[in-house]
A = this chain, B = another copy of it.
Amino acid sequence: MKKLINHPDRVVDDMVDGYAAACPQYIRRLAGSKRALVRTELQKGKVGIVIGGGAGHEPGFMGYVGKGFADGVAVGNIFASPSPEPIVEVTKAVDQGEGVLYIYGNYAGDCMNFDMSAELASLEDIRTATVRVTDDVASAPAEQTDKRRGIAGFVLLFKVAGASAEQGYSLDDVVKVCTKANANTRTMGVALSPCTLPQTRKQAFELADDEMEIGLGIHGEPGMERGKLETADEVTVRLLESIVSDLKLAGGERVAVLVNGLGSTTLMELYIVFRKTAEFFAGLGVKIHRSYVGEYVTSMEMGGCSITVMKLDDELASLIDHPADCPAFTQV
């Protein structure tokens, strides 16, 4: 696998350099840390939103710092959690006395490093709270949702967090609405081809030329089922049936839908998947309030896609509708 890089050991730092140079209107780098980025202009007097995670998921997570989204991000190495140092630096930079929410995917490394950062922040008299995203249906059974991983549902959760903070919610209320949003959000993915790590240029896993894997994680974690590749419509229905059953979604409800490409799957294919998604929800009597189709959280150049569904009440619908402007997500 060929990659346009300078050296495997430099990919993340080079990328952050390029990002900082490309987006000065959105983000600035904190002095002394290459991996700590905050909004160029913070909105005054609000709860701070801090996100973070491993690199290799671009535009996640750096792309979600901006208006209506997060105030700062800590960037880890490829597929590895950021260490506490940039998390704490970002926390200090975005805190305005209203407290800071940590919102990130439920992975052991991220949980450990953000928890440690919360302790260090408390020593500086900064109040923090945490919401862990657990949208991946495939990663644990319904009775153990707290063991589930976070995948593309991140994006809608970051949006709810950012919008509620901008609307003046207190830290407790941001936590409350994000906890509800997380409970209302499910994602199911399908992988068609692996990604390759820059260090080894080896494929992260193997899939035969005619195979797909349902529920495979964004770092190559094993999924629920491997089988012959089916048509786009068949795959879409399979993903949606898992989501609808797990979410106990019924006719008359409203949802936000995100069809996310994992890296090398074309937008053409993602729109073909969305076509069936719209047909499926119309058949179920579920209204799609807003839809998003594109590459929002990738696994480098992995092939495949995921579908995320968030069940909306009036509060969540209004937060999803809130305007946003960050490099990876602009909504006017």
Kindly state whether residue A22 has any CB partner on chain B within 8 Å: yes
Q: Which residues of A in the span 252-300 have a Cβ within 8 Å of any Cβ on B?
A: 263-276, 278, 291, 293, 295, 298, 300
**CB neighbours of A266 from chain B (8 A):** 3, 58, 263, 298, 300-301
Interface stretch (choices A117-125, A180-188, A229-237) = A229-237
Interface stretch (choices A11-19, A165-173, A308-316) = A11-19
Kindly state whether residue A248 has any CB partner on chain B within 8 Å: no
Interface residues on chain A, size class: 35 or more
Complex CA distance for A63 and B268, rounded to whole angstroms: 11
**CB neighbours of A265 from chain B (8 A):** 4, 301
**CB neighbours of A193 from chain B (8 A):** 2
Kindly state whether residue A53 has any CB partner on chain B within 8 Å: no
Kindly state whether residue A59 has any CB partner on chain B within 8 Å: yes
Kindly state whether residue A21 has any CB partner on chain B within 8 Å: yes
Complex CA distance for A22 and B58, rounded to whole angstroms: 23
* Cβ-defined contact, A21 with B330, below 8 A: no
**CB neighbours of A332 from chain B (8 A):** 325, 330, 332
Using A4-B192, A232-B4, A325-B332 as known contacts, say yes or no to A22 and B268 having CB atoms under 8 A apart: no
**CB neighbours of A231 from chain B (8 A):** 5-7
Complex CA distance for A67 and B281, rounded to whole angstroms: 29
Kindly state whether residue A55 has any CB partner on chain B within 8 Å: yes
Closest to A291 in B: B22
- Distance in angstroms from A63 CB to nearest chain B CB is 8
Partner among B11, B212, B263, B268 whose Cβ is within 8 Å of the Cβ of A56: B268
Kindly state whether residue A305 has any CB partner on chain B within 8 Å: yes
Can you list 11 A-B contacts (CB < 8 A)?
Answer: A2-B229, A2-B303, A4-B273, A14-B271, A18-B275, A19-B271, A21-B274, A21-B275, A55-B268, A56-B268, A63-B267
Known: A4-B273, A58-B267; 18 extra A-B contacts, CB below 8 A, are A2-B192, A4-B235, A5-B232, A14-B272, A14-B275, A15-B275, A18-B270, A18-B271, A18-B273, A18-B275, A18-B293, A21-B275, A58-B266, A59-B267, A264-B301, A266-B300, A268-B300, A332-B332
